[in-house]
Amino acid sequence: MNSLNSQNLISIIKGSHISEIDRKCINNGIDSKWLMNNAGTKVSDFIISYFENTSESEGPFVIDDIEMKKYPIKEFSLNKIRGVIVCGGGNNGGDGFVCALNLVKQNFIINLFCLAPLQKFSSDSAYYFNELVKLKDEGNFNNLNINFINENSEKEIKIFKESLKSANFIVDAIFGTGLHDSEVHGIAREIIEFINEAKNEAKGLNNDLKIFAIDIPSGIDSDNGKILGVAVKADFTITFGVKKLGLANYPGANYAGKIEVTDIGIPKKYYDEHEKVYEANLQWVAQQIPERTFKSYKHSVGKLLVIAGSLGFTGAATMVCEAAMRAGAGIVTLVCPWDLNSIFEVKLTEVMTLPVAQTEEGSLHLNALSEILAVSDKYDALAIGPGVSRNPSTIKLIKEILKKIKKPTVLDADGLKALTNLIDNEDDELYNLKHVLITPHPGELASILSRVNIGFENRFEVNLEVSKKFNVVSLLKGSGTIITNTDGVSFINPTGDFALATAGTGDILTGIIGSLLCQGMDIMDAAVCGAYIHGLSSDIISKKTSKTSLIATDLLEGIKRVFLEIEKLKY
């Protein structure tokens, strides 16, 4: 990929690297208190901006310049805003102290609760806590209350719970990126549960209580997104320098709310030494889509050969072809079983068909290989798999196509069976499929690798494993779809949600990616852009259908809407 240096890509790293990065910065002369002040100030600035910009009108929630939904927000007077800030004893708590300092000076009414004794504060946290105490002792600020809480602090816990009832917002500064593996316990667990309960109660009373998490919601493993027993359910997460993997990967991503990545003065070179994980946005996707000119015509913009469908599964093949056309392919031809050709002639208007030999079960037969090989030279890319069936003759046909046709190929659904139960001597060529992009869901990937199951926490490692095993780009579908190549570069897709949990949406994805491949895109870029377009088409169109009622063919209208936005950016 030649597009990794784009400013429109969001870098993502494991949170466990942050302490190492901090050490390197400090060893190279960057003051740690300066960094903490920058971090806490970014959080307070975000909170101040949020309340300054609210109004009685309904405001749009925007994803990549596309209005997605509206929500009611209230008008506030800054000197009447009440906030609860909860701090642990580490540097995350120190960021919270800085945030509290700034908000108190802006006349916010702040109730500060510390979950560790003063002697257990980190040195920088203790410094800013003492600044808060000085402020209070000077007597000029009566809008600051400070409390310490432990398991035996019944009085303080009662004060905390009462404070939540009158609060307009809560700041979570309990744990930062250093929390891994072990579940949250003790008073921290209780406090997190109280915070989440307060949010739920406020929602029931139609109160607009907002939760702001510093760097990462407390209770999420910043390396993988695992919930460590309990976690704060934030509305906003203000994170520093780069996005943390625990914020991008599920289930952690479901707790982060809207994520704001802010610069606190750590040079980019320190982050670049770690994982190559990225998140695209619409601007980046638009940059990668091949540009068209006045010279463009149907043969020049891409020809896709689709190998899909069998008796009972004509819909899968149809959706692949229609999605490919909607995503810009100039010509699409469907290879289909003889007896199903008349069905496809009716279902597909813009798509050509090539009827070939079939099995008794109505799927593609191995005897069709020579005809497919002969016609393949006319095409720029292939899309294989949706609805082809698991007939042994059909799977053997797909294996031979993968070996003999070295055009860019997206392999999906039943076609993935060609990669299971391989015999090394017979199938050596199937371990070097550098022209292929596979699009399994977790169950299919587990089958390919002979695993019992694949969890969210180990998706990146397993996706890299299959990528290296077959020398492919692997797109692992699911919440936060991830795409990985053999170099270990991964993307996590930020678009789409449970609206896509319906039959046929994977076929639409195959068609989009096949279309981008035949237009000449790099395999990795086509996978990333295809997943993004697919998810965003769902985000857009589900506003009309509802997420629950969306069906796969609704995405065809969504694809049109996405490309309207791409063309606004591109031309």
CA distances from 314 to 336, 337, 386 (A): 9, 10, 9
pLDDT at residue 177, rounded to an integer: 95
Mean of pLDDT values over 11-16: 94
Band the pLDDT of 423: cuts 50, 70, 90.
confident
pLDDT at residue 4, rounded to an integer: 75
Whether the pLDDT of residue 64 is over 50: the answer is no
Mean of pLDDT values over 547-570: 97
Q: Report the topology of domain 16-59+70-274.
A: Rossmann fold (3.40.50)
Whether the pLDDT of residue 404 is over 90: the answer is yes
Q: What is the DSSP letter of 220?
A: B
pLDDT at residue 78, rounded to an integer: 65
pLDDT at residue 330, rounded to an integer: 97
**HEC sequence for 527-568:** HHHHHHHHHHHHHHHHHHHCCCCCCCCHHHHHHHHHHHHHHH
Whether the pLDDT of residue 415 is over 80: the answer is yes
483-496, pLDDT tens digit by residue?
999 999 999 999 99
Range 3-12 burial, b when 16+ CB lie within 10 A, else e: beeeebbbbb
Q: What is the DSSP letter of 227?
A: B
pLDDT at residue 6, rounded to an integer: 74
Whether the pLDDT of residue 470 is over 80: the answer is yes
Average pLDDT, the chain: 92
Whether the pLDDT of residue 116 is over 70: the answer is yes
The number of residues in the chain equals: 571
pLDDT at residue 378, rounded to an integer: 97
Range among 74-88, 101-115, 415-429 rated most confident: 101-115
Question: What is the pTM (predicted TM-score) of this model?
Answer: 0.90
158-216, pLDDT tens digit by residue?
999 999 999 999 999 999 999 998 999 999 999 999 999 999 998 877 678 999 999 99
Whether the pLDDT of residue 67 is over 60: the answer is no
Token readout for 188 is 């921290």
Q: What is the DSSP letter of 264?
A: -
Query: What region does 485 belong to: left with phi over 0, alpha with psi -120 to 50, or beta?
Result: beta
For 1, the 3-state DSSP assignment is coil
Cis before residue 251, ω within 30 degrees of 0?
Answer: yes
Task: List the beta strands (DSSP E) in 115-177.
Answer: 144-148, 169-173
321-359, pLDDT tens digit by residue?
999 999 999 999 999 999 999 999 999 999 999 999 999
pLDDT at residue 2, rounded to an integer: 61
Q: What is the distance of C-alpha 460 from the center of its chain? A: 13
Contact in structure between 413 and 387 (CB atoms under 8 Å):
yes
515-524, pLDDT tens digit by residue?
999 999 999 9
**CA-wise closest residue to 81 among 108, 55, 103:** 108
Please state which of the ranges 23-32, 315-324, 385-394, 451-460 shows the lowest mean pLDDT.
451-460
Q: Where are the domains of the chain?
A: 16-59+70-274, 299-570
Please state which of the ranges 354-368, 374-388, 440-454 shows the lowest mean pLDDT.
440-454
Contacts of 255-259 spanning 24+ positions with Cβ under 8 A: 255/217, 255/219, 255/220, 255/227, 255/231, 256/213, 256/216, 256/217, 256/220, 257/211, 257/213, 257/233
Please give the angle made by the CA atoms of 503, 507 and 512, to the nearest 5 degrees.
Answer: 140
pLDDT at residue 61, rounded to an integer: 40
Band the pLDDT of 77: cuts 50, 70, 90.
low
Residue 333's φ and ψ, nearest 5 degrees, are -125, 135
Q: At residue 283, what is the residue type?
A: Q
pLDDT at residue 460, rounded to an integer: 94
pLDDT at residue 1, rounded to an integer: 65
Band the pLDDT of 452: cuts 50, 70, 90.
confident
Helix (H) or strand (E) holding 161: helix 154-166
Whether the pLDDT of residue 70 is over 50: the answer is no
Contact in structure between 344 and 332 (CB atoms under 8 Å):
no
For 86, the 3-state DSSP assignment is strand
Whether the pLDDT of residue 53 is over 90: the answer is no
Mean of pLDDT values over 282-296: 95
229-266, pLDDT tens digit by residue?
999 999 999 999 999 999 999 999 999 999 999 999 99
Please give the CATH architecture assigned to the domain spanning 299-570: 3-Layer(aba) Sandwich (3.40)
Band the pLDDT of 94: cuts 50, 70, 90.
very high
Query: What region does 524 belong to: left with phi over 0, alpha with psi -120 to 50, or beta?
Result: alpha
